[in-house]
């Protein structure tokens, strides 16, 4: 099953720029960035990372994530920024060796996507960079590397990763099994631990990010900049998740949380997670209502009219007649105006969509067996007896799932894991010299 060429399946570096902090005030470079130089800060194989490169990226990170551009925040985030720049150098080196190229159109398309997602007009993103004193090349290089790495991973590994029809069926069945239970709307930030020596620093980074978010920085901005999960492009949003879909450790953390609450750092073998529980819901009733609304029925009715100004005893007599008709009609052919006491409005109503009916009547018709008359319903004009003659059954729940989207999501998860292993192997075999 094919994959959309417009979606990234691992950490999309350009996603760091998707939601720009409206509170960031344009101005001159902060004091910690004003003395940036071309001094060598790190060497990655044949490439050099300068102190200027690091400071420029720090400014971009702080502006895009909404954090205060202070010396303290810059110092705290510097180790992570250095790691990211090293990884990007390794990614671009590998893409270059594979003759991967990135066109100007691909870069322009990504910039246009950023602008649409931030409600900017054409050229708005570049204007934002200029207003915040950020070199255009700082952002463009990050976007270019992301595109190249994505193309490389697709070329080398997408064909070797398959999703079977049975796996799609299993994913659908898991969703159906949990449909009547509680669902959680969850967002995640994943910070991988590439080697045991990094664990303490990664945990500290997780704690600092949580502190920033508790002070008002938006979760999706932090996820887009720092998360190394495939959900980073969506601000970490996992969507609605049923119980049992996540790792048991993450499930346990969510069980202790209330909507709107952030988790502490949650340790799993691959790294640390930060979870945001956005909301909870029980979807069963809503799902049934949605299916019923789309259903259509073929209806017939018998109307026993009540003439205007009828006295109570005459109305009671009409009620008795309607009740008798309700008991004696045999099938839809019997629901005609020819029956004694039936008015001219009796007969075939045609096909009616349940969602177009008043709420009370919709519930009655949705539950009414085919070919059985309802009890008389009193209206302003008389007593009405309804019969459902045919019902268009809603599609089975499995058919409502987008199988291609499910397959793509499963493939993205697996390709994300492959990409992590590749960059880890590249890092292990590379010459990396961090000088400051």
pTM, 2 dp: 0.58
Reported as a pLDDT band with limits 50, 70 and 90, residue 101 is very high
Give yes or no for residue 298 having a pLDDT over 80.
yes
State the fold for domain 296-391.
Answer: Chitinase A; domain 3 (3.10.50)
Residue 95: the pLDDT is: 95
SS3 content of the chain, % helix, strand, coil (to 5): 50, 15, 30
The rounded distance, in Å, linking the Cα atoms of 211 and 230 is 23
Q: What is the pLDDT of residues 259-269, one digit of tens each?
A: 889 999 999 98
Determine how β-strand 266-268 pairs with β-strand 377-378: unpaired
More confident residue, 10 or 61: 61
Give yes or no for residue 401 having a pLDDT over 80.
no
Q: What is the pLDDT of residues 359-385, one digit of tens each?
A: 667 777 887 888 888 888 888 778 888
Scored b (16 or more CB within 10 A) or e, 21-55 reads beebeeeebbebbeebeeeebbbbeeeebbbbbbb
Give yes or no for residue 22 having a pLDDT over 80.
no
Long-range Cβ pairs for the range 259-267 (8 Å, 24+) = 262/210, 262/213, 262/214, 262/219, 264/210, 265/203, 265/206, 265/207, 265/210, 267/203
Please compute the mean of the pLDDT values over residues 248-260 and round it to a whole number: 88
Residue 184: the pLDDT is: 86
Give yes or no for residue 397 having a pLDDT over 50.
no
Please compute the mean of the pLDDT values over residues 303-326 and round it to a whole number: 86
Please list, in sequence order, all residues whose beta carbon lies within 8 angstroms of the beta carbon of residue 308, skipping any fewer than 6 positions away.
Answer: none
| Helix locations, 190-311, DSSP H | 199-214, 219-226, 248-255, 284-294
Residue 189: the pLDDT is: 94
Scored b (16 or more CB within 10 A) or e, 56-88 reads bbbbbbbbbbbbebeeebbebbbebbbbbbbbb
Termini Cα distance of the chain: 47
Residue 394: the pLDDT is: 56
Give yes or no for residue 148 having a pLDDT over 70.
yes
Query: CA 45, 88, 53, 122 torsion: positive or negative?
Result: positive
Please list, in sequence order, all residues whose beta carbon lies within 8 angstroms of the beta carbon of residue 374, skipping any fewer than 6 positions away.
Answer: 326, 364, 368, 385, 386, 387
Give yes or no for residue 19 having a pLDDT over 70.
no
Residue 178: the pLDDT is: 59
Give yes or no for residue 162 having a pLDDT over 80.
yes
Give yes or no for residue 286 having a pLDDT over 70.
no
The secondary structure of residue 333, as a DSSP letter, is G
Please compute the mean of the pLDDT values over residues 375-401 and round it to a whole number: 75
Residue 1: exposure state from Cβ atoms within 10 A (0-12, 13-18, ≥19): middle
Residue labelled with tokens 């800060």: 41
The rounded distance, in Å, linking the Cα atoms of 184 and 177 is 15
The secondary structure of residue 37, as a DSSP letter, is -
Give yes or no for residue 247 having a pLDDT over 60.
yes
Residue 215: the pLDDT is: 82
**Above pLDDT 70, what percent of the chain?**
82
Least confident of 104-108, 209-213, 274-278, 381-385: 381-385
Q: What is the pLDDT of residues 102-133, one digit of tens each?
A: 999 999 998 888 788 667 788 888 888 888 88
Please compute the mean of the pLDDT values over residues 74-86 and round it to a whole number: 89
The secondary structure of residue 198, as a DSSP letter, is G
Residue 49: the pLDDT is: 94
């Amino acid at each position: 099953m094919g994959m959309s060429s417009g979606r990234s399946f691992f950490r999309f570096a350009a996603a760091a720029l998707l939601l720009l902090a409206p509170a960031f005030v344009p101005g001159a470079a902060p004091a910690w960035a004003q003395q940036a130089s071309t001094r060598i800060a790190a060497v990655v194989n044949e490439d050099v990372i300068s102190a200027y490169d690091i400071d420029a990226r720090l400014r971009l990170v702080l502006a895009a994530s909404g954090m205060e551009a202070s010396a303290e925040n810059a110092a705290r985030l510097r180790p992570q920024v250095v790691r990211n720049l090293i990884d990007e150098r390794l990614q671009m080196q590998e893409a270059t060796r594979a003759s991967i190229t990135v066109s100007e159109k691909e870069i322009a398309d990504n910039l246009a996507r950023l602008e649409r997602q931030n409600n900017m007009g054409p050229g708005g993103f570049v204007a934002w960079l200029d207003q915040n004193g950020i070199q255009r090349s700082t952002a463009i290089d990050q976007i270019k590397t992301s595109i190249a790495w994505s193309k490389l991973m697709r070329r080398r590994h997408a064909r070797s990763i398959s999703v079977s029809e049975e796996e799609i069926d299993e994913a659908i069945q898991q969703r159906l099994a949990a449909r009547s239970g509680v669902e959680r709307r969850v967002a995640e930030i994943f910070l991988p631990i590439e080697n045991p020596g990094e664990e303490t620093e990664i945990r500290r980074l997780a704690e600092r990010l949580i502190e920033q978010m508790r002070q008002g920085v938006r979760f999706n901005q932090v996820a887009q900049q720092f998360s190394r999960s495939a959900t980073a492009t969506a601000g970490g949003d996992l969507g609605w998740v049923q119980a049992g879909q996540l790792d048991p450790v993450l499930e346990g953390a969510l069980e202790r949380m209330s909507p709107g609450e952030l988790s502490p750092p949650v340790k799993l073998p691959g790294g640390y997670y930060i979870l945001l529980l956005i909301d909870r819901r029980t979807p069963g009733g809503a799902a049934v209502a949605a299916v019923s609304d789309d259903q259509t029925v073929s209806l017939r009715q018998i109307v026993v009219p009540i003439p205007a100004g009828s006295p109570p005893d005459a109305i009671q007599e009409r009620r008795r007649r309607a009740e008798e008709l309700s008991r004696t009609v045999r099938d839809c052919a019997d629901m005609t105006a020819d029956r004694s006491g039936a008015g001219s409005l009796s007969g075939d109503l045609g096909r009616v969509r349940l969602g177009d009916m008043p709420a009370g009547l919709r519930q009655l018709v949705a539950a009414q067996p085919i070919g059985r008359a309802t009890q008389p319903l009193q209206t302003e004009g008389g007593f009405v007896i309804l019969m459902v003659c045919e019902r268009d059954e809603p599609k089975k729940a499995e058919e409502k799932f987008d199988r291609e989207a499910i397959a793509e999501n499963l493939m993205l998860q697996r390709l994300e894991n492959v990409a992590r292993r590749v960059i880890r192997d590249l890092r292990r075999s590379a010459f990396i010299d961090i000088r400051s």
